[in-house]
Amino acid sequence: MPVAMTDLPTEFPDFGLTLHQRRQAVRGLYWEWPGMDSEHGEIWCYSDRFSYRRGETVTLHVSSTASSFSMAIVRDGGIETKMSEKAGIAARWQDTPDQCSVLGCGWDASFEFRVGDDWPSGAYRVTLTADGRDGKPVRCHHLFIVTPQPGKKRGRVLQVAATSTWLAYSTWGGSNHYEGITGPNRDQYAPMVSTQRPWCRGFVVLPKEAPRVPLEVAVAPKTVPRYPHMEWAFATGHSKKYASSGWASYDSHFFRFAERAAYAVDLASQHELHFSPEILDGYDCVVFVGHDEYWTWEMRDAVDAYVERGGHAARFAGNFMWQTRLEDEGRRQVCYKYRARAEDPVYRGGDVTRATNSWEAPEIGRPGATTFGLNATRGIYAGWGGCAPRGVRGFPVYRPEHWAFAGTGIYYGDLLGADSHVYGYEVDGLDHEIHGGLPYPTPDSGAPDGLEILAVGMAAQVEESADIPFEHQFLGDEDGRFTAETLFGEASDANLDKVKRGNGMIVNFRRGKGEVFHAGSCEWVAGLLRQDAMVERVTRNVLDRYLGKS
């Protein structure tokens, strides 16, 4: 059940780490790699694709110190359903390139199986178990998606898993789009990452006690920022990025809620939007949730065209930030990010609109707000580190009469989802102004015509405190200076001052024959996970309207 602010602990959790280990947990680079636990034994697995249809063949690539393994497949929905079991599958150790995060593991196929004709669309968790060298079992977890069959899906919701963001954050092999072992000094993030590698620990399954990113601590004055989720990851052997992305932390909570609430829901990966955009055509409502940061141009084309034709897009997600490109038939994702203008080849010849930079880069000419109404560069951090650590935990509501809030009993100025902490850890916003106590997009905000701002909270792109030394800050001002340079051409102090104060919003607008609802926070799913009645009601209101039930 939700935990009220007054019930929060006043001390940070203790995971048994020393001060040095706590610092390493936050500032260090640690990852999973083949051979890291060879004394006890290992097993690792990935599949050839993110998703499959009924009747198609899943190919597993496995490397293990054991000579055989057993496999169990469970559909991870409103209830867990065991779909298949098999024992005695042959395995062997397979050599892996040093730069497997970028190049892929290149393992030979180990086992194939056919997706059953009666397997419903959804997420399928694969657990592989083998004998360890010390007599104890070793395990790994993998996930693949069964996509829906073609055709009209009246009354069904399509959830699109944020697989591009999963890929960007996965630390398996040493590199992702944030940190890494690439570059001449093996200390750079990777602008290219491969789908052909296992998911890191914590992306597929997590224990209930795993901390989320937003702080669940009543932070005392002058407290140096702490990051319990990274400390827990370091202490338990999970990926440093488990709480930033993945099925277990984000997408799963909406899918389970929807099925338990008796909605008919299908699942697809973002690769379907890119390569098979017609998958949207059969649905009255398409949903995006959680931390949903990385998109290709083609993925946005698919959603824009869908809404224009009369579709309904509901985005309960935050941080709509980066354009990516897909190469090698979708097996490699490219995003140069902060180094794009210096390193992305399209700047030296090619279509600069496809540069893997922030969507708000002027040369791209396609701000995120034109698709979902909000931009990451006008939002960003809330409720963690030194960015509003004591700030609002829910959305401050300005237009309680809106249809999305029907039945909640909410008033003007109330906080929606505060007890379940739905506001954070990254949010999307717009430049706006207040007239008569109500927020409106500024004329140069880039907001679509007719956009209505329903709720607004504060956020920050800079950790800023007169009492906390800069060297104790983890987030610092790098993101703020990047935004300043992106929007205004120079990362000066004056330009930083224009962007460092952000916001997170709930907005609604119509486009063409369709409509978009966007609750711009990564943590909306926390309200569903924690069974917050008001958050559940708003979610139902949106789904019911878009499915024609209200």
3-state secondary structure of 127: strand
- Short-list 218, 230, 219, 232, CA closest to 14: 232
Among 212-216, 250-254, 314-318, 463-467, the range scoring the smallest mean pLDDT is 463-467
Question: Which pLDDT value is given to residue 192?
Answer: 98
Question: Which pLDDT value is given to residue 151?
Answer: 84
Q: What is the rounded average pLDDT of the residues 22-41?
A: 95
Contact assessment for residue 127 and residue 71, using Cβ atoms and an 8 Å cutoff? yes
Q: What is the rounded average pLDDT of the residues 476-490?
A: 93
* Other C-beta atoms lying within 10 Å of the C-beta of residue 89: 17
Q: In the numeric block, which tokens belong to residue 35?
A: 């051979």
d(CA 502, CA 463): 12
> Hunting for tokens 């360890």 — which residue is that?
132
Residue 542 has pLDDT above 50, yes or no: yes
| DSSP state letters, 186-213 | T-B--SEEESSSPPPTTSS---TTPPPS
- Short-list 455, 410, 406, 401, CA closest to 428: 455
Average pLDDT, the chain: 96
**133-143 residue pLDDT tens:** 999 999 999 99
pLDDT bin (cut points 50, 70, 90) of residue 194 is very high
Residue 4 has pLDDT above 80, yes or no: no
Who has greater pLDDT, 150 or 331?
Answer: 331
d(CA 247, CA 486): 31
- Alpha-carbon 94 to chain mean position: 31
Contact assessment for residue 93 and residue 64, using Cβ atoms and an 8 Å cutoff? yes
Question: Which pLDDT value is given to residue 472?
Answer: 75
pLDDT bin (cut points 50, 70, 90) of residue 473 is confident
Contact assessment for residue 361 and residue 335, using Cβ atoms and an 8 Å cutoff? no
pLDDT bin (cut points 50, 70, 90) of residue 474 is confident
Domain extents for the chain? 157-166+244-547
Residue 406, C-beta contacts closer than 8 angstroms, at least 6 positions apart: 541
Peptide bond into 425 cis (omega under 30): yes
Question: Which pLDDT value is given to residue 153?
Answer: 86
* Residue at 265: amino acid letter: V
Q: What is the rounded average pLDDT of the residues 98-102?
A: 98
Question: Which pLDDT value is given to residue 5?
Answer: 46
* CA dist 276 → 155, 171, 280, 347 (Å): 21, 28, 9, 28
**434-470 residue pLDDT tens:** 999 999 999 999 999 999 999 999 999 998 888 877 7
d(CA 339, CA 356): 9
What pTM value is reported for the model? 0.97
Question: Which pLDDT value is given to residue 144?
Answer: 98
* CA dist 420 → 241, 314, 451 (Å): 22, 20, 27
Residue 507 has pLDDT above 60, yes or no: yes
Q: In the numeric block, which tokens belong to residue 415?
A: 């906080």
Q: Using a pLDDT cut of 70, give the percent of the chain over it.
A: 99
Q: Using a pLDDT cut of 90, give the percent of the chain over it.
A: 93
d(CA 144, CA 383): 32
Question: Which pLDDT value is given to residue 517?
Answer: 99
Question: Which pLDDT value is given to residue 25?
Answer: 96
Question: Which pLDDT value is given to residue 292?
Answer: 98
Q: What is the rounded average pLDDT of the residues 249-265?
A: 98
List b or e across 407-418, with b for residues whose CB sees 16 or more CB atoms inside 10 angstroms. Answer: ebebeeebbbbb
| Residue 324: its H or E element | strand 322-327
* Residue at 251: amino acid letter: D
Strand order across the 43-47 sheet: 43-47, 57-64, 111-114
Residue 3 has pLDDT above 70, yes or no: no
d(CA 428, CA 315): 11
Question: Which pLDDT value is given to residue 6?
Answer: 56
